[in-house]
Amino acid sequence: MEKVKCAVLGATGIAGQQFIEAIKGHPWFEITGLYASEKSAGKKYCEACIWHQESEIESRLSLMVVKDVAKIEQDIKSYNIIFSALPGEIARDPEEKCAKYRPVISTTSAFRYDKDVPILIPEVNISHISLIEKQKERGWRGFIVPGPNCTTLGLVISLKPISEEFGIKNVFMTSLQAISGAGYPGVPSLDILDNIIPFIAKEEEKVQKETLKILGTLEGKNVQDALFGISCTCTRTNVRNGHTEIVFVETEKPCTPEDYKNAIKKFNEKFKKEFGDLPSAPKESIVIKEEENRPQPRRDRDLNDGMSTIIGRIRKDDIFKNGIKFVLLSHNTKKGAAKGGVLVAEYLIKKGIIKR
């Protein structure tokens, strides 16, 4: 079967490289276009970027000539899907040009908060796909589907089984975020070595806003934000990959640790039934670790190739009448970034929303 032709915007950056890595050897997708700034345009990809991924660049892509992202509209009909990894501050115009004609799967924040744009995590809010139809009112033949902030991702997946089974009143979360989440060159070594930095600009606001939208209810053609309270403290720690989060949840109905584990089991069963046949889908959306000292980034982040959320230390919280607390770990540069976007694209093809 002929593969789906894809272009990557922002291909020379870290996030763009992650798309290239995620699509390498993919049974459905093939990258046939690489786009970056005017400065990189006209160069071979191997000359235009400093490769930071652990595996080697495919020789075919290494020799591919990078094109100017400002001129993407000229080539747009050559592609079936556009994967965008552009910086959020410059992504809106190129992504909109592409969405006029083709589906855009994005890791950027440019359109996340538009009312007709779903922040999509397939196993959490797949019903929000219907917002894609509303985007046609813009005169687009394509659409834009961004993923969430990488810190939001693990939190929302961990909360979904609780929300469905027990209801949520309040959430308190503290993150210990990997340095890879800051991009390249990221945090200066003399700042992060032997240290935790207790502030990441705009991160707490993003997580709080996105969580309520993603777990919100689709009413007609609009998403009504979830009504529970949420408070976050986001920090950067000296770990390469994998965001750890300490989460406290006040529930509407009583929820014991065993209740939560059973809810996760049901959640995983639904996930396997709906998404288990997709190439990038993990065996389980959530993996429970029973050991008292897990999850740990170095040991657990690559479970199921970084596509699962790992949850451990599930305990009852006695401050709330109905309370539970746990620690989660999610791979910020895989499920929380490009590979999560690839999973979204796979599901949209399965449902016929993206045509082969």
* Phi/psi of residue 276, nearest 5 degrees: -65, -20
Instruction: Give the closest residue to 155 by CA, choosing from 259, 252, 231.
Output: 231
Kindly list the structural domains of the chain, giving each domain's residue range(s) and its CATH number in brackets, ordered by start.
Answer: 4-149+338-350 (3.40.50.720), 150-330 (3.30.360.10)
Looking up tokens 């400002």 gives 70
Report the catalytic residues.
150, 243
Beta bridge partners of 143: 103
**Any residues with CB less than 8 A from the CB of 247 and at least 6 apart, and which?**
155, 158, 159, 171, 172, 173, 325, 326, 327, 328
Q: How do the pLDDT tens digits run along the chain, 356 residues long?
A: 689 999 999 999 999 999 999 999 999 999 999 999 999 999 999 999 999 998 899 999 999 999 999 999 999 999 999 999 999 999 999 999 999 999 999 999 999 999 999 999 999 999 999 999 999 999 999 999 999 999 999 999 999 999 999 999 999 999 999 999 998 889 999 999 999 999 999 999 999 999 999 999 998 888 999 999 999 999 999 999 999 999 999 999 999 999 999 999 999 999 999 999 999 999 999 999 999 999 999 999 999 999 999 999 999 999 999 999 999 999 999 999 999 999 999 999 999 999 87
Q: What is the pLDDT of residue 274?
A: 97
- In this prediction the pTM is 0.97
Q: Cα 282 from chain centroid? A: 14
Q: What is the pLDDT of residue 54?
A: 86
* Phi/psi of residue 162, nearest 5 degrees: -70, -45
What is the torsional sign of CA 137, 139, 141, 146? negative
CA distance 315 to 312: 9
Q: What is the pLDDT of residue 355?
A: 85
Q: Other CB atoms closer than 10 Å to residue 241's CB: what's the count?
A: 18
- Going from the C-alpha of 179 to that of each of 129, 183, 208, 249, 263, the distances in angstroms are 32, 8, 21, 26, 32
